[in-house]
Structure 1
Amino acid sequence: MADLVELDSLEILVIVDNELDPISPSPNAAVQQSGGLKDIGMGGPQLDPQTRGGAISELRMDNICCSAHGLSLLITGLKSNNSGEPERHTVLFDTGPEEHIFELNATRLKARLGEIETIQLSHWHRDHSGGMPRVLAMANAMKPAGSPAITVDLNPDRPDYRGMVTPMGPVSMEADPTFAEIEAAGGKVEKHSEVHTVAGKFFAVSGEIPRTTSYDVGLKRGLRMMREAGVWEEDTLIRDERFLMCKLKDKGIVMFTGCSHAGVVNASRHAVTLGNGVPLYAVMGGFHLADGEPQTITSTVADLQALEPKLLLTGHCTGWRAKFAIQQAMPGKLVPSFVGSRFTL
């Protein structure tokens, strides 16, 4: 990935994630974080100082985001061009589980959806794809007339349904939006299964993630079904999952992962490989250790530590046990990804 642009800085807005905490400060001084209660209050309705003893604004509960099982990150890379002017490119990484929660949070956050050039779907699971139609409608409504269509970057290997094994029989998830539905909503579908760059080469999208660890076994009890076959098949590996990455000047690789079904260590190692050996600076997203075996968590944390990342912005399916283990092994490197947070790297 020699053509991947080196960025000056990165802005990340967490629109959807599993947890909400607008009170705790960032545990790492290297991360600029906003979106807490003070920021929400300062951005609330302005008050006449004479009406409430000098209060300048009102902290409203309906300005606070809601958590949901899923992920959606609005990511903007910044780079000074040859004229010294800042160039910006924005990617939306995943769209959350449903249209309502995306719209509610994006509206409360005053997210600049009109800047989205590319939506990259990490993998075909409803908690990452469900908000897609509403995202496109909202983003297109914010764009100037005549703007290019938003590219929706997708893996062509889309099962009609995904599900899970239970003692009583298969349980089906809701279907992901179809290619036709995404196009009807205003997206320009592009199908990729190999590594490539997007958004002015500010970001790269992986192909299938190589599995080199012995302890990452994929999604337990995972299933998929195609309507034509009409039968459920084992689908523990979720081979369609891909990550998003970029390169920060004087820092290193930042890798965004939806669920890490191939293993967050495998994804991190592959990001370093694609970055031609540039060191790993940060990993953000779901590490899928919430239901991991204790030894899997221990091995994952040890192998992550060996990569020497400076930041681990854990969210979605990471789980409290894994977060605790990371904090114990690498004090100060854990930065929980809470919905409504704004990070600058």
Structure 2
Amino acid sequence: MANQLKRVSKLTITFLVDNNIEWMTKLPPGFTHEINQHISHSRPAREDQGSVPGLDFNDFCCGAHGFAALLETESVIDPGDEEVVTKKEYTLFDTGPDSLSLVRNIKALQVPITKIDRVVTSHWHSDHTGGLLSFLELRSKCVEEGITTPPPTGTAKPCAEKIGGPPAQCVVDVHPSRPHLRAIAPPPTWKTVLCTLPPDPSFEGITAAGGILERRKDGHTVANGTVWISGEIPRVTEFEQGLLGGVRWVEKGEPGWTEDSEVGPIGENATGRWIAEPHLMDERYAAVDVEGKGLVLFSS
């Protein structure tokens, strides 16, 4: 990794989906409130009361179970004698759990969606992949309309910034081992499936939505060498027990298939089996080397 990863002068992280987003309370140092952004594009609530901006709560971010973060990396491409020239890269790491929360928050935070030219999924769980197709569809719509950013939900006001030229197509960087289904088998036995998770987007669906599919299980750099995406993460200590109760559906003859699986229930006409899968071996992390800070890791 050290020989391939380019150090960046600046890293900006925009959390687009997190388990808890609340815009009124005090934030930790380094975080910024979104309210000023909404005031700048809001419409007057009452023309006869001084044209004071009126907030629309439909424009504000929502929290959701899952994760999505926009990694904006900036690196020097020409130190120059008089002026330093830098370049920004935009990488979306995970896409949240559903078709609504990521799109809403992209609009609320006025994210320049057409500048995002790569989506990386950390692993195949729908709370990290559920917003992928809606993201690709929204991005394609913005490209068609020639704008970098979709308008907020509460207004039809277009983004002021127009696309300067044809944007790059969006690469979707995923692990090749996509499960048919994953499910949860709770304690005390860890062997009785309680429910399945929503299915992840299919490879065909990703392509149909406009994504350029890349199936990678090796370590590699993206974003012009500024973001490292890991390969398989070894589990080497007893502490790393994984997700207890995590199970995966495997068809007969596929890797992991076993007639002896004790996880159920299984229907009479089933063509496969549930197998215990505490270690999600398709999980990957992202790393950015920030000047003066060191490595910043993203793992979800």
Q: What TM-score comes out, normalization by structure 2 length? A: 0.78
> How far apart are the structure 2 equivalents of 1:188 and 1:48?
43
Q: Which residue of 1 aligns with 2:76?
A: 80
Q: 1:222 aligns with which of 246, 259, 277?
A: 246
Structure 2 distance, partners of 1:40, 1:88, is: 21
Aligned to 1:65: 61
- Residues 130-170 of structure 1 deviation map (CA, whole Å, 9 limit, x = unaligned): 11111111123334574432111111111110001147931
| Structure 2 letter corresponding to 1:51 | D
Is the Cα–Cα contact under 8 Å of residues 17 and 70 in structure 1 kept in the other structure?
A: yes
Aligned residue identity for 1:219: L
Distance in structure 1 (CA, Å) of the matches to 2:33 and 2:20: 14
Name 1:150's counterpart in structure 2.
170
Cα gap change, 1:49 to 1:176, in 2 (>3 Å): closer
Which protein, 1 or 2, shows the higher relative CO under an 8 Å CA cutoff with sep ≥ 6?
Answer: 1
* Superposed displacement of residue 48, structure 1: 8.8
Distance 2:45 2:138 in 1: 33
Residue 43 of structure 1 corresponds to 40
Q: How does 1:61-210 map to 2 (within 5 A)?
A: 61-82=57-78, 83=80, 84-143=84-143, 146-166=166-186, 169-170=192-193, 171-210=195-234
> d(CA) in 1 for partners of 2:59 and 2:167?
30
- Which ranges in structure 2 are unaligned for 5 or more consecutive residues? 144-162, 253-270
Indicate the residue corresponding to 1:235 in structure 2.
277
Q: Return the alpha-carbon distance in structure 1 between the equivalents of residues 240 and 59 of structure 2.
A: 39
Q: Provide the residue aligned with 2:158 in structure 1.
A: none
Residue deviations 1:33-81, cap 9 Å, x none? 21344x25533524399733x5742222122111111111111101232
* Count of residue pairs brought into register by the alignment: 253
Checking the alignment, whether the CA contact within 8 Å between 1:40 and 1:64 is kept in structure 2 is no
Mapped to 2, the partners of 1:227 and 1:212 lie a distance apart of: 28
Q: Secondary structure at the match of 1:51?
A: helix
CA distance in 1, matches of 2:293, 2:108: 32
Query: Do 2:242 and 2:279's aligned partners in 1 also have CA atoms closer than 8 Å?
Result: yes
Q: AA paired with 1:64?
A: F
CA distance in 1, matches of 2:134, 2:28: 34
Question: Which aligned segments of 4 or more residues in structure 1 are displaced greater than 4 angstroms?
Answer: none
Distance in 1 between residues matched to 2:212 and 2:284, nearest whole Å: 19
Aligned positions of 1:217-296 closer than 5 A: 217-228=241-252, 230-258=272-300
Alignment of 1:29-40 (within 5 A): 31=30, 33-37=31-35, 39-40=36-37
Instruction: Determine the C-alpha separation between the residues in 2 that align with 1:48 and 1:178.
Output: 44
Deviations 1:16-38 (A, max 9, x none): 1110221333333xx2x21344x
**1:10/1:77 contact within 8 Å kept:** yes
Q: Is the 8 A contact 2:76 2:87 kept in 1?
A: yes
Contact 1:44 1:63 in 2 (8 A): no
1:217-262: per-residue Cα shift (whole Å, max 9, x none)?
Answer: 100100001345511001100111001111101111111112xxxx
Distance 2:108 2:214 in 1: 30
> Amino acid of the residue matched to residue 48 of structure 2?
T
Residue aligned with 1:6, SS:
coil
How does 1:294-333 map onto structure 2 within 5 Å? none
In structure 2, the residue matched to 1:297 is none
Inter-partner Cα distance in structure 1 for 2:277 and 2:250: 12
**How many Å apart are 1:91 and its aligned residue?**
0.3
Identity of aligned residues (%): 29
Aligned partners of 1:76 and 1:88 also within 8 Å: yes
Q: Residues 219 and 230 of structure 2 are in contact (CA less than 8 Å); yes or no, is this contact kept in structure 1? A: yes
CA pair 128-48 structure 1, distance change in 2 beyond 3 A: closer
Provide the alpha-carbon RMSD of the alignment.
Answer: 2.2
How far the C-alpha of 1:184 sits from its partner, in A, is: 1.1
C-alpha displacement of 1:216 = 2.4
Q: Distance in 2 between matches of 1:41 and 1:140?
A: 24
Question: C-alpha distance in 2, partners of 1:46/1:147?
Answer: 30
Query: What TM-score comes out, normalization by structure 1 length?
Result: 0.68
